[in-house]
Chains A and B, each alone.
Chain A
Amino acid sequence: MSDAKLLEVTGLNVAFGAVRVVKDLSFELRSGEVLGLVGASGSGKTMTALGITRLLPPSAVTSGVVRINGETLSAIPESRLRAIRGRGVGMVFQEPMSALNPLMRVGDQVAETVRLHRPVSRAEARRAAREALVDVGLEQGTSDRLPYELSGGQRQRVAIAMAVVMSPGLLIADEPTTALDVIAQAQILLLLQQLVRTRNMGLILVSHDLAVVAQLADRVAVMSQGEIIEQATADEILRRPCHAYTAALLSAARLQPKPAAPLSMSARTSPPANTASMPAVLDVQGIVREYPRKRTSLWRPAPPLRAVDGVSLSVHAGETVGLVGESGSGKSSLLKAILALETSQAGEVSLLGESMLSAKGATMRRLRRAIQAVFQDPYGSFDPQWTVERLIGEPFHLLASVPSAAARRRKVAVVLEQVGLSASDAQRLPREFSGGERQRIAIARALVTEPKVIAFDEAVSALDVLIRGQVLNLLAELAQRLKLSYLFVSHDLQVMRAMADRIYVMQRGRIVEEGPTETVFASPRHAYTQALIAATPKLPVT
């Protein structure tokens, strides 16, 4: 069986009008084999995955031959195709929430898939669903729960259960871990690997992250602009990439750890000792952030949810401080409390020696000038109707006297050039820019008031590896040139290691470990830090 070709794609083309998104693609896959499909966003990976099962929107024009188990898909009618989709091919997508019906118990959703493809009784389908949910590592009772009661990782497990419940020969997973944090990602990858082994399935793993693909794939196909530019065993690709683009992807995925403490030559080995004498630019003491919960008893209010539980941290001049933790650990809540965007229940934030939380009026504006922020979503961070110039100029509101139009334009041009865009971009709208360019605009907006500290909330998580590398380089360069301090929040340890001088590890609202980045990475003390580091996908160093 293992030498039989499970999937054969020959000359697959997908076009929308005159735009060809997939060009003359050919590859094959055997049972028990994992093919990694890697490329930047827009390279045609997802269109390829959808093209195989003919799930593309009707406006797409496809040609080429797709054979599954020797059966040519393009030659069979839609009704037969539907049967193949469930039984022959399973699919898992990026966003586990939207893949599930929010109002239906997850067990019933899996059972529905069973009943669509096999004439079985309701009870039998339920039993098959329960088994499938256990097979993907969920607890016994999970089948009676609703999607919103599950974590992102658990939801993705449900989606995988739905995909594999009919024991398809081929599983296509499109960025299955991109929406998850590192620990959940590692678990899902492990699960996929086990499924491939125990069921002798073929797996096509689509991802922009070479490090993720390298963990599972036997063979890797690198896509760029709709074409496979290189296809080889994972080992060969990682050690001897032939194509320059592959090499670029690899080097972007292999972020170099930041050289220790460029703060001061004399204190190379112990930056805390050096900085302890200096007052911190940003000093956070015992922040508590509670959110009210829905009352469950008529007589007393429910205990509030403590998202941030007495966190203290400090950022010194010219230092990049990292804050790591999985999603839901309270990182973003802490950041909002520090930025005084939400009221904290206890604690103190002092910026340049002044209290941020009690500041008002002119003092508040002066402090806000000194701390700016860049947020995660490069699409949601901008008012879609404003021009770049107006968006970047928004923080001018904080200046004591708003500069003249000419002065504003000059300043916007300066920051645009600082972030590697051109002054002529000022009159364009945000939708005309790519994700990476938008994040540059967000950085420009943060720079325009000449702040001392910039807070980044998962600022590079939504970016492709290549773009991520460019943005991180830009940030490092700006920090040095403009003597900026960064507070860098991320769940990605690789990014942390490349950026931060010191890191704080946050779990369930508390800081569980802190120290110079390399020390923490070399000898993590807390079990949670150890788990995070172990879960981070690594590329073999060559």
Chain B
Amino acid sequence: MSDSSRNTGLALGAAITAVFVGMAALAQFWTPFDPRALSIIDKLQPPGAHHWFGTDQLGRDVLSLIMLGAQTSVGVALLSVIIGVFLGVPIGLIAAARRGAADELLMRGNDLIFAFPALLLAILITAVFGPGAVNAIIAIGIFNIPVFARVTRAGALQQWTRDYTLAARVAGKGWVRISCEHILPNLVALLVVQGTIQFSLGVIAEAGLSYVGLSAQPPTPSWGRMLNEAQTLTALAPYLALFPGIAVALFVLGLNLLGEGLRRRSGSPA
């Protein structure tokens, strides 16, 4: 009974994620309307046959904006996860393999980053270095580093207790090689799950940053800024806030379902 429910969760999550990622990819080549074309005559049209999601105060097609916004969202979240993986995983592997002083130093450094409220520091970074997608990626990415470092370290410590690492050392391999050849491949499932979760957190963080105007700058569309702009027009055109809001919520839900489904399938603990 639990088998089928986990499979539907996984399938649903994968489907939702695929729709959004597909939408982002499609927007690179085609959108129903030119999202940059302003047309004041068509402004604030409610959803209908012509403009499925309606138009905004400048007459731009909301569906096209959502599609391009997905691109920003996926791009920022993905790159920040990549930053976290590329810096955090080696830190975790080194800490687990070396233990002792190296472990202390690396993990306490991690704790230091963890000690900052993530979104506040992201705002600080983008405020100091200027708003923009690249700085948003860096700001979110920094907070992914300790997460991946911790998950990797915990998983790696468990792998190091197993006899096959002893066998590899009897075969003359050093800790770097063992970490790369044995430990890391056995952590892939764990990291994919964590990556999915961090991806969804990245989507939320990007929406938050762009809502306060610190992520991608106009004319690049983003869900957070669409929400911000829709705020003043809530009475006139509530659908303007509805669609980007649904997009963020649905995408995050899909990613979480996917992550949870993958976690259960790989059998690793939460």
Contact = CB atoms under 8 A, between A and B. Distances in A.
Interface of A: 336, 339, 341, 364-365, 368, 372-373, 375-377, 380-385, 394-395, 397-398, 442, 445
A381 B164 contact: yes
Contact of A394 (B163, B171, B185, B186): B171
Nearest to B1: A58
Contacts of A382: 164, 167
A381 B167 contact: yes
Contacts of B172: 364-365, 368, 395, 397-398
A397 B173 contact: yes
B143 to A, nearest CB: 30
B168 interface: yes
- Ordered nearest first, which 3 A-B pairs have the shortest CB separation? A395-B171, A375-B163, A380-B162
B170 interface: yes
B102 to A, nearest CB: 16
Interface in B151-205: 162-164, 166-173, 182, 185-186
Q: Interface centre among B170, B173, B182, by most A CB within 10 Å?
A: B170
Nearest to A393: B171
Contact of B166 (A341, A368, A385, A398): A341
A445 B168 CA distance: 10
A282 to B, nearest CB: 14
Contacts of A372: 170
A442 B185 contact: no
B167 A368 contact: no
Q: What interface size band does chain B fall in?
A: 10 to 19
A397 B186 CA distance: 21
Nearest to B161: A380
A385 B186 contact: yes
Contacts of A394: 167-168, 171, 173
A398 B170 CA distance: 9
B167 A375 contact: yes
A163 B63 CA distance: 67
A383 B185 CA distance: 9
Contacts of B169: 341
B170 A385 contact: no
Contacts of A339: 170
Contacts of B162: 377, 380-381
Given A372-B170, A397-B173, A383 B186 contact: yes
Contact of A384 (B166, B167, B170, B186): B186
Contacts of B171: 368, 394-395, 397-398, 445
A502 to B, nearest CB: 24
Contacts of B182: 383
B170 A383 contact: no
Contacts of B168: 383, 394
B104 to A, nearest CB: 14
B164 A383 contact: yes
Nearest to A395: B171
A365 B167 CA distance: 14
B260 to A, nearest CB: 23
Contacts of B170: 339, 341, 368, 372-373, 395
B166 A373 contact: yes
Contact of B163 (A365, A376, A384): A376
B269 to A, nearest CB: 16
Nearest to A448: B171
A380 B164 CA distance: 6
13 contacts: A336-B166, A339-B170, A341-B166, A341-B169, A364-B172, A372-B170, A373-B170, A377-B163, A380-B163, A383-B164, A394-B168, A394-B173, A395-B170
B98 to A, nearest CB: 14
B175 to A, nearest CB: 12
A341 B186 CA distance: 22
Contacts of B186: 383-385
B99 to A, nearest CB: 12
B176 to A, nearest CB: 13
Nearest to A399: B172
A382 B186 CA distance: 12
Nearest to A364: B172
Contacts of A364: 172
A381 B165 CA distance: 8
Contacts of A384: 186
Nearest to A376: B163
Nearest to B159: A383
A310 B182 CA distance: 34
A464 B224 CA distance: 63
A382 B163 CA distance: 7
B192 to A, nearest CB: 14
B189 to A, nearest CB: 10
B208 to A, nearest CB: 39
A381 B162 CA distance: 7
Given A373-B167, A394-B167, A395-B172, 5 more contacts: A364-B172, A383-B164, A383-B186, A394-B171, A397-B171
